[in-house]
């Protein structure tokens, strides 16, 4: 993807078969990505970006101020989040199978002696994945009926720059694994957001009207999500 420099702002330019230019400021470091129509000239692209520089700089400033979790060392007393709540990690070494138990503000990680940081992190990630899938399985049937759409498939994966995505042709939805760490209302917002894309693929006024109809407080939920601590090595939607 080619780069364009405008003052102190470096852009990643992606030419696509689209009608309108789109500018995205990506977490965690405020990288700027521009999706432009294939026939749009470099000069026109530069002028469009220059007109949005105040907005771009505000987004970058917001990212710089957003709290981030410290590096994960997977040791006793470390702070972790589950459904928006702060938990202290307790690593318990014992013989037998590895498992995770959660309660009273603690995440107990039961592992064998000498388990590596990577495997402890993998165990916790597996717990997050299971918790997220369980919650989505409860929410999805309700919202599919409410919005009158059906997703052919859905899944959970690690995503660096998005909380969710929707392939409208395949009718397939992906949700960011990090949503297990955010308040439940944030997960519901992203799920509804992606389902609405099955009615309208663009973020236009029609899309916003659907969101207003089905989830009137979606803007507040979005704001809450984007104020939550980012993962230490990650990434707004």
Per-residue pLDDT for 70 more than 50? yes
Q: What's the N-to-C CA distance of the chain in angstroms? A: 22
- Together in a domain, 126 and 205: yes
Whether 185 and 163 have beta carbons less than 8 Å apart is answered as no
Q: What is the mean pLDDT of the chain?
A: 90
Q: Is residue 133 part of a domain?
A: yes
Strands of 99-103's sheet, edge to edge?
79-82, 85-93, 106-111, 99-103
- Quote the number of domains for the chain: 2
- Together in a domain, 106 and 217: yes
Radius of gyration of the chain (CA): 20
Q: Is residue 39 part of a domain?
A: yes
Per-residue pLDDT for 58 more than 60? yes
173-187 pLDDT tens trace = 999 999 999 999 999
- Predicted pLDDT at 136: 98
- Together in a domain, 129 and 169: yes
User: Average pLDDT of 145-173?
Assistant: 94
User: Average pLDDT of 205-218?
Assistant: 96
CATH number, domain of 121, equals: 3.30.2010.10
Q: Which of 180, 177, 155 is nearest to 166 (CA)?
A: 155
- Together in a domain, 115 and 220: yes
Q: Is residue 72 part of a domain?
A: no
Q: Which helix (H) or strand (E) holds 26?
A: strand 22-26
Domain span at residue 174 reads 79-227
Q: Is residue 148 part of a domain?
A: yes
Per-residue pLDDT for 232 more than 60? no
In Å, how far are 46, 93, 106, 137, 230 from 97, measured between CA atoms?
57, 11, 19, 27, 31
- What the block records as the tokens of 69 is 């979790």
pLDDT greater at residue 61 or residue 136? 136
Please indicate, yes or no, whether the overall pTM of this predicted structure exceeds 0.95.
Answer: no
193-206 pLDDT tens trace = 999 999 999 889 99
CA–CA gap between residue 107 and residue 125 (Å, rounded):
12
Residue pointed to by tokens 């993962």? 231
Q: Is residue 236 part of a domain?
A: no
User: Average pLDDT of 84-105?
Assistant: 95
Instruction: Give the confidence band of 71 by pLDDT, cuts at 50, 70, 90.
Output: low
Least confident of 153-157, 158-162, 165-169: 158-162
- Together in a domain, 91 and 40: no
């Amino acid at each position: 993807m080619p780069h364009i420099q405008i003052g102190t702002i470096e852009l990643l330019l992606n030419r696509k078969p689209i009608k309108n230019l789109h500018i995205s400021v990506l977490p965690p470091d405020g990288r700027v990505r521009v999706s432009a129509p294939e026939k749009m000239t470099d000069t026109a692209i530069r002028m469009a970006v220059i007109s949005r520089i105040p907005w771009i700089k505000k987004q970058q400033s917001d990212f710089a101020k957003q709290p981030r979790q410290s590096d994960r060392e997977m040791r006793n007393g470390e702070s972790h989040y589950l459904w928006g709540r702060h938990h202290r990690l307790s690593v318990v070494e014992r013989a037998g199978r590895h498992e995770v138990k959660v309660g009273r503000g603690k995440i107990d990680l039961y592992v064998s002696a000498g388990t590596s940081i990577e495997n402890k992190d993998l165990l916790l990630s597996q717990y997050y994945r299971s918790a997220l899938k369980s919650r989505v399985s409860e929410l999805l049937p309700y919202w599919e009926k409410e919005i009158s759409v059906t997703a052919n498939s859905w899944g959970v994966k690690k995503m660096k720059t998005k909380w969710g995505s929707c392939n409208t042709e395949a009718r397939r939805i992906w949700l960011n694994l990090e949503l297990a760490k955010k308040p439940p209302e944030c997960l519901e917002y992203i799920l509804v957001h992606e389902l609405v894309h099955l009615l309208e693929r663009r973020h236009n006024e029609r899309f916003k009207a659907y969101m207003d109809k089905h989830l009137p407080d979606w803007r507040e939920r979005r704001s809450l999500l984007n104020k939550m601590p980012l993962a230490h090595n990650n990434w707004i939607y």
